[in-house]
Amino acid sequence: MDTRKPILIVTAGGRNPQILINALADRFADVSVLEEQPESKKLFLKRRAKKLGYLTAAGQFATMAASKFGKRFTEKRAEDIIRQFGVSDAPNAKVPVTRITSINSPEAISHIGRLRPAAVFLVSCRMLSAATLAAIACPVINFHAGINPQYRGLMGGYWARVRDDLGNFGSTVHLVDGGVDTGGILYQARMTPAKNDTMHTYPLLQIAAATDIAICAIEDALAGRLMPQTSDAPSRQWYHPPIWSWAWNGVVKGIW
């Protein structure tokens, strides 16, 4: 295994992806980042409304807004998680960052073609279009904050708690295909949330406690020994809970 081969991380940025960027940069010699612009809220609402209806989409958007506001009240727990798992969310000046509009843009595909990475690692970014995925010659791997296939999509940790399924609170590293978190499973890690964890801290816990499976997947890619697995567990895609469901689960079940 040659740890000097280029590794490209694709993300929309943020604290949680930065933890993974730092972990991979500590293990591999040539790590760089393609950072795309976050998707507009207008486009999010339009796409979600088309799939689930305007009322549900508006309720989910309200939950996202509440989540963003509430993060300021969970900073102590976030710091505890970072300290507990010995990870860092600090910007890393040693890792080159190229900013793009979207991973599915011609500029992104051109950049990947020039870099010729040994592996592309996705964390918190848009879904790759079929054309983008076809244009990438190396393995494309995704970090998902949820256990696949039971908790594909969004808020996997939250929904595992709501469903009293703590045995499936965790993270998955998988190959990327044309579906939503449906690619072959490479590694999974399970952890137990604290009583004071909420939807503001679940994703942080899921990534801080699972950097090792991301490293293992990249090591396998560099060594040519990726061994994706399938699961016959029930498969379901999840979304943000509408604000009324989130409030009900919080008041009645104590799960926020």
User: How many angstroms from the chain centroid is the CA of residue 111?
Assistant: 22
pLDDT of residue 43: 83
- Measured distance CA(255)–CA(138) in Å, rounded: 40
What's the total number of domains in the chain? 1
Q: Is residue 1 part of a domain?
A: no
Backbone φ and ψ of 27, nearest 5°:
-95, -35
Q: Closest Cα to residue 147, out of 206, 201, 216, 60?
A: 206
Q: Is residue 2 part of a domain?
A: no
Tell me the H-state helices in 91-182: 106-115, 130-135, 156-162
Span 109-162, pLDDT tens digits: 999 999 999 999 999 999 999 999 999 999 999 999 999 999 999 999 999 999
- The residue count of the chain comes to 256
Q: What is the mean pLDDT of residues 85-111?
A: 97
Q: Which domain holds residue 223?
A: 7-253
Q: Is residue 12 part of a domain?
A: yes
Taking all residues of the chain, what is their mean pLDDT, rounded to a whole number? 96
CATH number where 82 lies: 3.40.50.12230
- Is residue 185's pLDDT more than 90? yes
pLDDT of residue 239: 96
Lowest mean pLDDT among 63-72, 77-86, 211-220, 246-255: 63-72
Most confident option among 53-57, 62-66, 94-98: 94-98
pLDDT of residue 46: 87
**Banded pLDDT at 171 (limits 50, 70, 90):** very high
Judged on CB neighbours under 10 Å (0-12, 13-18, 19+), 229 is: exposed
**Banded pLDDT at 69 (limits 50, 70, 90):** confident
Q: Is residue 172 part of a domain?
A: yes
Q: What is the mean pLDDT of residues 40-51?
A: 84
